């Protein structure tokens, strides 16, 4: 549990410590992916955005004014990059309509179908609800961590999570019912 703090890791990474850079990458790649996914709603695009943003942040660590706030600084970069990618991609219209990005083909695996359903349900949440639910339920961050990274109060983090989960369950249940044959 005695993992070095972000401040320590950032300081070491600035001095060229590869181990510190790797620790930061391991700590923040999935959270960055969660934030990117909240914007682009496409798994592979979110992975690309997360990698690119993390690389860019590590290359420019000297510009991180407060190493203790590495996460909010990184996430701001992730959001910008994700929005830029969204803006120049053909899926802009789909995003506006709230449609999931992943295309389904006949015979898609159950995993792909489940992913698509989750993305579809996520797309009906607000951006901040998506970030909170992904960081909390996927990344397993505490409300304190989510609040600090997203610039929210813990109360608001709980509130967003509560609403997001309810909406997700409603959306997933609704989609599930829509997929069932009418005569069954």
Partner 1 sequence: MNDDRLDLSALDPKRDPLHFERMVRAVVLRGRPRVHPVFPVLLGWGKVAVTCAALLALSAWIPAVLRWRQGESRTPDRLALVSSWAEAGSIPSDADLFWTIEAGRGR
Binding-site ranges for partner 1 (CB under 8 A): 13-14, 16, 18, 21-22, 25-26, 29-30, 33, 37, 43, 47, 50-51, 54-62, 111, 114-115, 118-119, 133-134, 136-138, 165, 168-169
**65/182 with CB nearer partner 1:** 65
- Given its phi and psi angles, is residue 98 left (phi above 0), alpha (psi -120 to 50 degrees) or beta? left
**18/184 with CB nearer partner 1:** 18
To 5 degrees, how large is the angle CA 90–CA 115–CA 138?
105
The minimum distance between CB 21 and partner 1, in angstroms, equals: 6
Give Cβ neighbours of residue 19 (< 8 Å, ≥ 6 apart): 12
The minimum distance between CB 181 and partner 1, in angstroms, equals: 24
The minimum distance between CB 34 and partner 1, in angstroms, equals: 8
**21/82 with CB nearer partner 1:** 21
Query: Using the 8-state DSSP alphabet, how is residue 135 labeled?
Result: I
Give Cβ neighbours of residue 122 (< 8 Å, ≥ 6 apart): 37, 38, 41, 100, 130, 133, 134, 168
The minimum distance between CB 54 and partner 1, in angstroms, equals: 5
The minimum distance between CB 22 and partner 1, in angstroms, equals: 5
Rounded to whole angstroms, how far apart are CA atoms 123 and 117? 10
**177/181 with CB nearer partner 1:** 177
Query: Using the 8-state DSSP alphabet, how is residue 134 labeled?
Result: I
Residue tagged 């909170």 (tokens): 132
**133/150 with CB nearer partner 1:** 133
């Amino acid at each position: 549990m005695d993992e070095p703090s972000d401040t320590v890791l950032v300081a070491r990474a600035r001095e060229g410590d590869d181990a510190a850079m790797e620790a930061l990458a391991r700590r923040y790649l999935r959270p960055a992916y969660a934030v990117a996914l909240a914007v682009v709603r496409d798994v592979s695009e979110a992975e690309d955005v997360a990698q690119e943003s993390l690389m860019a942040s590590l290359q420019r660590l000297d510009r991180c004014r407060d190493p203790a706030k590495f996460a909010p600084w990184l996430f701001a970069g992730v959001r910008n990059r994700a929005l830029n990618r969204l803006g120049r991609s053909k899926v802009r219209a789909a995003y506006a309509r709230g449609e999931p990005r992943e295309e389904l083909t006949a015979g898609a695996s159950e995993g792909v179908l489940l992913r698509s359903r989750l993305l579809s349900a996520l797309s009906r949440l607000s951006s901040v609800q998506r970030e909170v639910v992904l960081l909390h339920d996927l990344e397993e961050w505490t409300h304190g961590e989510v609040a600090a990274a997203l610039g929210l109060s813990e109360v608001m983090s709980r509130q967003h999570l509560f609403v997001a989960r309810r909406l997700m369950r409603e959306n997933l249940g609704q989609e599930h019912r829509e997929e069932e044959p009418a005569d069954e």
